[in-house]
Chains A and B, each alone.
Chain A
């Protein structure tokens, strides 16, 4: 069955809406027909629209809404490999399978992403330093290519790695075999350290490898001696015997409440450096200086922002932007320089996220590489933001770092080409499977990918 609707689509940052023909198709054959009959503006698959910029938009063309294709097709409990349709969300996988003792191999800060999106953006989570990206847990995937044929790819194929992190531009991921993680409880045992500044934090993070999950929240408005003051939270899944007695009987219960919804029509300007500084101050003081073995639920530990649906609306009609970069080990000064720049600019930024990445995978456009990643949200209307971020891009480039396409809405094509030296090879592979350039997106147009 096919449903077609003309719709204005935005990314999570709500900055650059464009209109496309949104098509919901239920069968592989119907999707293939959409690809074969594509017009000059092309086709693109879209999941839950959590990329911040224009990655899941295709102005004037066709956007295939895959969220209806959300079935789990097969479960192999011996190997832990699940065969799922690409439109299934991590939220759905967690609701269905945490109670059976299975967790997704990698989760970002929200459960509202599809498996297809997780592969296209090659997402990472708090366990990247030990477990790598989502794509590294995909054993095989079915890709609908630009010629309308379906190819099954495994990590042995170079096209697999062009698709992992390929932003949906090599084709439509239809299904994937994902290696899930066995767990014994739906709770995490969390150690917290409050760090007075960046140097303090980097020292604390030295033994990160002892933890399955690790992330630091940095107050970007703190200055001077306190620059980079932060709260480091690290943890692992708890064993049932670590839970309080009354919870031991149902250690795997997982039933997150339907989230609150941020109201519509919030005016711009509510988030300014004063309101955000007050929030950050309260948050920092609330954190314990040192606490070990605290039990937190999956939602509290992994997805705190999912408690408020559409929280992106609090940035008002001007929208928001997330700046995320990675720099190699040894370039910690560049992270400090970035935090310093936001602090000096008085950017109304809530907490930034700082995390250590493990090694890079073979994905041509995959973002994570060994080193430090910093991510922070800023209102898109902040004055001078364009120049500030362009300047930071140059600092990051100077040390061999890069930005993240799933978050990007403002990088220049030139910057991207320097950050991703393997782009030409990716373009060759893309051209081989999509010689007519059927797969297009606003991001691809903006950056001339």
Chain B
């Protein structure tokens, strides 16, 4: 159970090696000694490093092998075991792949993989997690989305389009599950310096995973439905949304 100061007792991360998710879990672990963090991801060095980092902060870390590209029945069985434990205060859905964006609109396999990781997996886990939180009558479900889906651009439209599918699903889910005490938060970060963006040129308003984590923690505490990271991104994207298409396409973004 979350306490009266918003401190968590148990957090589940889908995509447990995501830099943003780990930074967020770390923030909560610092506020609450003994925080239980369940990192669900494929086994990897990054997942192990995340576990070590969180354990060093006093968190009790549980590693769960989960392949978000696998059969959904298999994933549901894995998550059933996770959700059979103590109440979950937050489920953080932090799966996503950027990949080679040029290949992604030319190679059907590459395009499908973007759909599988960026759209299908968050939706499957949105369903599984919200079912659990509804049974509990409390808890937050957080999707790490992106600003890129707000208006797709030539440079990363497959990423933007596939993330937008999940983003919209969670916006609707928020409304559907609110009467049962479940809070759904969609987080839309701009450019984040992380392993996902290694080798890319930095965009304006670039930020660290820790800065995004701060925005997420505040959004959860205040029960917001959508937060932008940094906050100014909201106005940038609002502006860009209303730029006429011929001009938008000529912008250096």
List chain A positions with a Cβ less than 8 A from chain B.
Answer: 6, 8, 11, 13, 15-20, 41, 52-54, 58-61, 317, 319, 321, 380, 385-386, 409-410, 412, 442, 445-446
Contacts and interface: CB of A to CB of B under 8 A. Distances in A.
A369 B83 CA distance: 40
A41 B135 contact: yes
A385 B5 contact: yes
Given A6-B180, A8-B181, A386-B31, A19 B138 contact: yes
Nearest to B222: A317
B199 interface: no
Q: Is the interface of B mostly helix, strand, loop or mixed?
A: loop
A447 to B, nearest CB: 9
Nearest to B9: A446
A87 to B, nearest CB: 23
Contact of A13 (B4, B6, B7, B33): B4
A321 B5 contact: yes
Contacts of B180: 6, 19
A409 B2 CA distance: 9
B138 A59 contact: yes
Interface residues of B, number: 23
Contacts of B107: none
15 contacts: A8-B181, A15-B4, A17-B181, A19-B138, A20-B137, A41-B137, A53-B4, A54-B1, A54-B4, A319-B4, A409-B5, A410-B3, A410-B7, A445-B86, A446-B9
B5 A18 contact: no
A197 B161 CA distance: 66
Interface string B1-44: 11111110100000000000000000000011110000000000
Given A19-B179, A60-B135, A60-B137, A442 B4 contact: no
A339 to B, nearest CB: 21
A18 B138 contact: yes
A61 B180 CA distance: 11
B167 interface: no
Given A13-B4, A18-B181, A52-B4, 11 more contacts: A16-B138, A18-B138, A19-B180, A19-B181, A59-B137, A60-B138, A321-B5, A380-B4, A386-B32, A442-B1, A442-B138
A18 B137 contact: yes
Interface string B176-194: 0001110000000000000
A446 B5 contact: no
Contacts of B86: 445
A18 B2 CA distance: 10
Contact of A59 (B7, B179, B181): B181
A412 B1 CA distance: 11
Nearest to A13: B4
A325 B197 CA distance: 51
Nearest to A18: B138
Contact of A386 (B2, B5, B135, B179): B5
Contacts of A386: 5, 7, 31-32
Contacts of B134: 60
Contacts of A380: 4-5
Interface string B131-174: 00011111000000000000000000000000000000000000
Contacts of B137: 18-20, 41, 58-61
B123 to A, nearest CB: 23
Given A59-B87, A386-B31, A446-B9, A16 B1 contact: yes
A409 to B, nearest CB: 3
A409 B136 contact: no
Contact of B3 (A17, A20, A59, A446): A446
Contact of A16 (B3, B32, B135): B3
Interface string B115-139: 0000000000000000000111110
A412 B134 CA distance: 25
A130 B34 CA distance: 42
Nearest to B2: A16
A317 B34 CA distance: 28
B157 to A, nearest CB: 39
B5 A445 contact: no
Given A6-B179, A19-B179, A19-B180, A60 B5 contact: no
B3 A409 contact: yes
Contacts of A11: 4
A25 to B, nearest CB: 20
A166 B180 CA distance: 28
Interface string B48-91: 00000000000000000000000000000000000000110000
A380 B2 CA distance: 13
B227 to A, nearest CB: 16
B9 to A, nearest CB: 7
Nearest to A6: B179
Nearest to A53: B4
A314 B135 CA distance: 32
Contact of A410 (B5, B34, B135, B136): B5
Contacts of B181: 8, 17-19, 59-60
A410 B4 contact: yes
A446 B6 CA distance: 12
B8 to A, nearest CB: 11
B135 A446 contact: no
A59 B4 contact: no
Contacts of A60: 134-138, 181
A338 B6 CA distance: 23
Contacts of A20: 137
Contacts of B33: 412
A61 B137 CA distance: 8
Contacts of B136: 18, 41, 59-60
Contacts of B6: 15
Interface in B196-228: 222
